[in-house]
Chain A
Amino acid sequence: MSIDYSNKISDVVGNMPPSAIRKFFDLASEMDDVISLSIGEPDFVTPWSIREAGINSLKDGYTHYSPNSGYTKSKIAICDYIKRRYDIAYDQKTECLITVGGSEGIDLAARALTNPGDEVIIVEPCFVAYKAAVTFAHGTPVVISTKQENDFKLMPEELEAAITDKTKYIILGYPGNPTGAVMTMEDLKPIRDVLMKHPDIIVISDELYCELNYISDEPSSLARFPELRDRVIMINGFSKSYAMTGFRIGYVLGPAPLVAQMTKIHQYCIMSAPSMAQFALIEAAMNGDDEVKKMRDEYNHRRRVILKGLKDAGLECFEPYGAFYAFPSIKSTGLTSEEFCEKFLMSKKVAIVPGTAFGVSGTGHVRISYAASMENIKTAMARLAEFTDEIRKGKV
């Protein structure tokens, strides 16, 4: 007798579509010699000294669970790093939790804060996990679609218009995936002013790309405003800035009563983040600045090559100052985002991701990752110019 699994699945999970990015990966994986500018992770291997710190911890026999919230010395290293870079003081004992990547932090925050029916403002286009995390936590996502003419920054009037009596918290991520947009402290001031008028709203600030900022050495965060510091849950980690994606290590910083609740979920579901990675992060947080700078400079060079390539291909793009993505408009080609990506992949063997995968506001855009070698970027940009030329000549 065959089992009908469809009625076994929870509605909230069953109704969640798989990420739209998947389709293009599947298509690309069936083809040979594809240049991929579609992957959202650094192409650099983790700097050796960081890898070595992880290896040494294994040699020294640190193969056990760590305390639930993380090793004390790892949390001290994180809090020292944040104090040094952001000038915000967090108490490692009560305000810091080490997680399995930034993604776990987002999930923990959503689950700790959301009651069924709570409205959660999500600033799109954004990382695919925000909406899913809120939905899995039985919250109601309320989307703000940021606009290209505002460089995909959140505008205070957009935030004000989205807030209702039911708004529980807001999730935003700058520097942003998929746009590469950055909000400086100056840009964040009017957002702070709106939030000050609504003192009950909590902020989840995803700052995984904080070190990949090409306009300012200083990371910007709503948590840096002292009047907001105790309303912000900062999600951060080492994956993007330190090329440590496979270590699966991140952290959450925030007010003690909220971190305590997140720690509760973490201890029941995860127990503790990988010990080896917690040792590696100490080296990253304490001695990683020079390595990060090297990678950031290289990304910045590639970023400029990509922007020139887009211009040469006749595609409009606002200048992204962060992360490792460009998010050009392809509206002038008359194709939809999906059509553009599919035809580009099929005819030129370059994989990029349609903007719609990151929310409705990504319509008419594509995400191009420059976390790839300069050689591949140059070849891909030359093929892009050919491709748009063929579109204009009606050959596509």
Chain B
Amino acid sequence: MIDQIELLKLIEKNSQLTTAEIATQLGAAAADVEKEIADLKAQNIILGSTTMINWDETNVDTVTAMIEVRITPVREKGFDKLADILCEYENVTACYLMSGGFDLMLIYEGKNLRDIASFVYDKVATQEGVLSTATHFILRKYKDNGILFKTKDSDDRQAIVL
């Protein structure tokens, strides 16, 4: 019997494990792991997987912005209608409904400042129901999705007798 939560935590941390590796680590049969993962996908619990990349270490320029959006909820559909529209933009990597002084938080990955500015002015601010926006640029990423953006330390424990 596979512990579903243990399986999910394992692949959440490392999506590159093979079925065989997962099976070994969980003490389960590979076929059972495969079936469990298929079931979890069918239930929309596993939605997809990505690789965390530190673009700053490449020659690709990216700018990330967090955009606060205040909106007027639409009758019957509330905030969802506008959220659905904004999610359609491929560079919007995250969209959350927030409590507090604004309604939606967008995370937008752009090529440069101008790219982001034009998205905010042309695409967001012009949407029907958008009252105001506030854009914050990310200066440096220290940690994202639980992963630290710094060089991994090697095992530098010195020997001790025990």
Contact = CB atoms under 8 A, between A and B. Distances in A.
Contacts of B144: none
Contacts of B9: 297
Given A21-B161, A39-B160, A40-B162, A304 B27 contact: yes
B90 interface: no
A304 B26 contact: yes
A339 B117 CA distance: 68
Interface string A10-30: 000000001101100100110
A163 to B, nearest CB: 28
B78 to A, nearest CB: 35
Contacts of A373: 155
Interface string A346-390: 000000000000000000000000001100100000000000000
Contacts of A305: 21, 24-25
A301 B161 contact: no
Interface in A162-186: 177
B162 A301 contact: no
Interface residues of A, number: 26
Contacts of A230: none
Contacts of B162: 21, 40-41, 127-129, 177
Interface in B69-111: none
Contact of A29 (B26, B27, B159): B159
Nearest to A36: B155
B6 interface: yes
A38 B27 CA distance: 24
Nearest to B162: A40
Given A128-B162, A304-B26, A41 B10 contact: no
B5 to A, nearest CB: 10
Contacts of B27: 304
Nearest to B21: A305
A22 B159 CA distance: 8
Given A297-B9, A305-B24, A39 B161 contact: no
A372 B161 contact: no
A198 interface: no
B25 A301 contact: yes
Contacts of B25: 301-302, 304-305
Contacts of A41: 157, 160, 162
Nearest to B9: A297
B26 A301 contact: yes
Interface string A149-160: 000000000000
A85 interface: no
Interface in B120-162: 155, 157, 159-162
Most buried by B among A29, A36, A297: A297
Nearest to A45: B153
B159 A28 contact: yes
Contacts of A129: 162
A43 interface: yes
Contacts of A40: 160, 162
Contacts of A301: 10, 25-26
Task: Please name the 9 residue pairs, one residue from A and one from B, whose CB atoms are nearest each other, closest first.
Answer: A25-B159, A301-B25, A19-B161, A40-B162, A308-B24, A21-B161, A304-B27, A304-B24, A304-B25
Interface of B: 6, 9-10, 21, 24-27, 155, 157, 159-162
Interface of A: 18-19, 21-22, 25, 28-29, 36, 38-41, 43, 127-129, 177, 297, 301-302, 304-305, 308, 372-373, 376
9 contacts: A18-B161, A22-B159, A25-B161, A40-B162, A41-B160, A302-B25, A305-B21, A305-B25, A376-B155
